[in-house]
């Protein structure tokens, strides 16, 4: 039996649609660019991934969770630097009017869309935040933003969480939630979309301990991705070196070898005290931590951040799991999704050999369904039914035959 990996994103897009993982948003209206809907198997997979992250990050005594709102006080985004600085450089092709992120293309080469030479405009800054109006009156004071990252809902709750939970440094706050960015060039399926989910954790530490903390979190996060079954040869580190965001003093990305090439999946950022300092200044609220273990010294904690896109991580997991067995052999070619069992949308399928066994097999299925996401399939040959489950990555299939009757309670 031969086995081939994913070669082209279109193979995955087609499987995802055909088997109810991911559909295009508003498809019956022709779709909405770069927006995707998770179908029945997709949402199971996504929920499993989120739960696994939540468990890994918060089932420890030094990390707690929050769920902050998407809308926040507009000054939050002024303080965080997003209003003035959350820009990507944008260029237009003067010939075909296509838009590109200047830092993602070679502007000295012909336009990748129409082939025109020397056709790009000078780069302009484009702010990636979506804004809308809150309340019935439309004026500048009612302008609010859809959060472009979940992190700020954690920083603004730092004091609430620290005092109510009586937390001592180091401790972390974790959150899973939607974020929105008006990306100039979304694409590559769910890799870059304008609405996506982030799984972020901010770990508050004593200033000066950031190098050790970075090492610790790098190891934890790398191992988490391996625990999801990703193949190590498809993962690598990227050190940002001196090329850092305004808030960071060090940053590393975990990159995955996607079908479109190596690209960022998760960022681990040493954010210093930038955010707390900014919020302290803009809110006028004292956010200092009193260190009882160090002569009641008062200081703003430093922050180590781990930030992974749920959808982007899911794309890596689906890409990694994708295999074609016996490619080119018409009779025997089939897609198998080799998900890690902890992530598989369906854990077990019950397949009665013949219709006559429907009743006892249904009883077994109902028992299993109390504990596991299970499926029951009576339609078609056993071989076909196995293939259906292989395509959605079900780790266990139970063929119910006449011998099974003997071991039924
Ligand atoms: P990029 O350079 O790809 O635009 P970024 O460095 O701006 O990403 P961060 O702000 O560090 O990304 O966001 C943290 C994580 O959130 C990323 O590693 C990625 O997994 C996810 N993410 C960011 N933007 C998007 C998007 N438009 N669609 C899906 N996931 C995203």
Per DSSP, the residues of 231-290 read: -GGGEEEEE-TT---TT-SEEEEEEEEETTEEEEEEEEEEEETHHHHHHHHHH----PEE
4-15 pLDDT, tens digit per residue, is: 999 999 999 999
Are 70 and 93 found together in one domain? no
Are 285 and 361 found together in one domain? no
Are 361 and 280 found together in one domain? no
Give the residue from 301, 319, 337 where a domain finishes.
319
88-129 pLDDT, tens digit per residue, is: 888 999 999 888 889 888 999 999 899 999 999 998 888 999
259 CA to centre of ligand 1 in angstroms: 17
Residue 42 lies in a domain: yes
315 CA to centre of ligand 1 in angstroms: 13
Residue 366 lies in a domain: yes
Are 268 and 174 found together in one domain? yes
76 CA to centre of ligand 1 in angstroms: 20
Token pair 């405009």 in the structure block, residue: 121
Give the residue from 319, 334, 360 where a domain finishes.
319
Are 199 and 304 found together in one domain? yes
330 CA to centre of ligand 1 in angstroms: 40
C-alpha–C-alpha distance, residues 389 and 370, integer Å:
20
Residue 335 lies in a domain: no
**What's the structural domain count of the chain?**
3
Q: Which two tokens stand for residue 391?
A: 């395509």
First to last CA, the chain: 38
- Pinpoint the alpha helices (H) of 63-205: 74-79, 82-85, 151-155, 158-164
Residue to probe by mutation, ligand 1, list 101, 201, 307, 310, most atoms within 8 Å of CB:
307
C-alpha–C-alpha distance, residues 335 and 328, integer Å:
12
Q: Which two tokens stand for residue 214?
A: 């970075």
Count CA atoms closer than 13 A to 307's CA, side-chain side. 25
Say whether pLDDT at 163 is over 80.
Answer: yes
C-alpha–C-alpha distance, residues 187 and 387, integer Å:
30
Residue 165 lies in a domain: yes
The 3-state DSSP class for residue 309 equals strand
The length of the chain, given as a count of residues = 409
Residue nearest to atom 31 of ligand 1 (CA): 309
Q: Which two tokens stand for residue 53?
A: 């992250």
Residue nearest to atom 28 of ligand 1 (CA): 192
Are 178 and 251 found together in one domain? yes
Atom of ligand 1 at shortest distance to CA of 253? 18
35 CA to centre of ligand 1 in angstroms: 15
Are 61 and 184 found together in one domain? yes
User: What's the chain's Rg over C-alpha atoms?
Assistant: 25
DSSP state of 103: G
Are 99 and 224 found together in one domain? no
Say whether pLDDT at 196 is over 80.
Answer: yes
Are 281 and 311 found together in one domain? yes
Residue to probe by mutation, ligand 1, list 22, 148, 196, most atoms within 8 Å of CB:
196
CB-based contact 159:285 (threshold 8 Å)? yes
Say whether pLDDT at 138 is over 90.
Answer: no
The whole domain housing 97 covers: 89-127
Are 161 and 292 found together in one domain? yes
- For ligand 1, residues with CB inside 6 Å are 149, 181, 183, 192-193, 196, 198, 264-267, 307-309, 311-312
C-alpha–C-alpha distance, residues 296 and 289, integer Å:
9
C-alpha–C-alpha distance, residues 69 and 250, integer Å:
28
Atom of ligand 1 at shortest distance to CA of 183? 27
Residue nearest to atom 26 of ligand 1 (CA): 192
Are 186 and 294 found together in one domain? yes
238 CA to centre of ligand 1 in angstroms: 14
Are 237 and 315 found together in one domain? yes
Say whether pLDDT at 271 is over 80.
Answer: yes
Residue nearest to atom 20 of ligand 1 (CA): 309
Torsion angles phi and psi, residue 287, rounded to 5: -105, 15
Residue 147 lies in a domain: no
Q: What is the CATH number of the domain that holds 283?
A: 3.30.930.10
19-50 pLDDT, tens digit per residue, is: 999 999 999 999 999 999 999 999 999 999 99
Residue 141 lies in a domain: no
Closest listed residue to residue 355, CA positions, set 379, 335, 333: 379
Residue nearest to atom 8 of ligand 1 (CA): 264
Residue 83 lies in a domain: no
Atom of ligand 1 at shortest distance to CA of 192? 28
DSSP state of 187: B
The b-or-e profile of 18-53 (16+ CB within 10 A means b, else e) is ebbbbebeeeeeeeeebebebbebbebbbebbbebb
- Quick one: which H or E segment has residue 397? strand 396-400
Atom of ligand 1 at shortest distance to CA of 266? 18
Token pair 């507009």 in the structure block, residue: 74
- Mean pLDDT over 144-163 rounds to 97
Position 115 scores a pLDDT of: 92
C-alpha–C-alpha distance, residues 48 and 52, integer Å:
6
Mean pLDDT of the chain: 95
Residue 149 lies in a domain: no
């Amino acid at each position: 039996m031969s086995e081939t990996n994913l070669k082209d994103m279109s193979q995955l897009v087609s499987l995802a649609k055909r088997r109810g993982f991911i559909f295009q948003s508003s498809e019956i209206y022709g779709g909405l660019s770069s927006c995707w809907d998770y179908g029945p198997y997709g949402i199971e997979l996504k929920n499993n991934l989120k739960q696994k992250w939540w468990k890994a990050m918060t089932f420890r005594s030094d990390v707690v969770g929050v769920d902050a709102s998407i809308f926040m006080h507009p000054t939050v985004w002024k303080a965080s630097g997003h209003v003035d600085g959350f820009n990507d450089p944008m260029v237009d092709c003067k010939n075909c009017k296509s838009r590109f992120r200047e830092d993602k293309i070679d502007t000295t080469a012909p336009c990748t869309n129409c082939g025109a030479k020397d056709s790009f405009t000078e780069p302009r800054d484009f702010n990636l935040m979506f804004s809308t109006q809150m309340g019935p009156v439309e004026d500048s004071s009612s302008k609010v933003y859809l959060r472009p990252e979940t992190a700020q809902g954690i920083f603004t709750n730092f004091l609430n969480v620290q005092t109510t939970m009586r937390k001592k440094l180091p401790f972390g706050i974790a959150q899973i939630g939607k974020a929105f960015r008006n990306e100039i060039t979304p694409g590559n399926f769910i890799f870059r979309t304008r609405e996506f989910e982030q799984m972020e954790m901010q770990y508050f530490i004593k200033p000066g301990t950031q190098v050790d903390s970075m090492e610790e979190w790098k190891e934890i996060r790398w191992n988490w991705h391996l625990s999801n079954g990703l193949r190590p040869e498809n993962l690598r580190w990227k050190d940002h070196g001196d090329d850092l965001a305004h808030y960071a003093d060090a940053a590393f990305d975990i990159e995955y070898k996607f079908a479109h090439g190596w690209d960022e999946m998760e960022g681990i950022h040493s954010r210093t005290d930038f955010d707390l300092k900014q919020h302290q200044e803009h809110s006028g609220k004292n956010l200092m931590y009193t260190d009882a273990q160090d002569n009641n010294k008062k200081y703003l904690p430093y922050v180590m951040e781990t930030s992974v896109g749920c959808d982007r991580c899911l794309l890596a997991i689906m890409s990694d799991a994708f295999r074609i067995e016996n490619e080119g052999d018409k009779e025997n070619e089939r897609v198998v999704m080799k998900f890690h069992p902890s992530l598989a949308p369906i854990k077990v399928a019950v397949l009665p050999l013949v219709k006559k066994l429907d009743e006892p097999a249904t009883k077994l299925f109902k028992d299993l369904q109390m504990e596991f996401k299970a499926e029951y399939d009576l339609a078609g040959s056993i071989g076909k039914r196995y293939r259906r489950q292989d395509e959605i990555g079900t780790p266990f299939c139970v063929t119910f035959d006449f011998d099974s009757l003997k071991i039924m309670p």
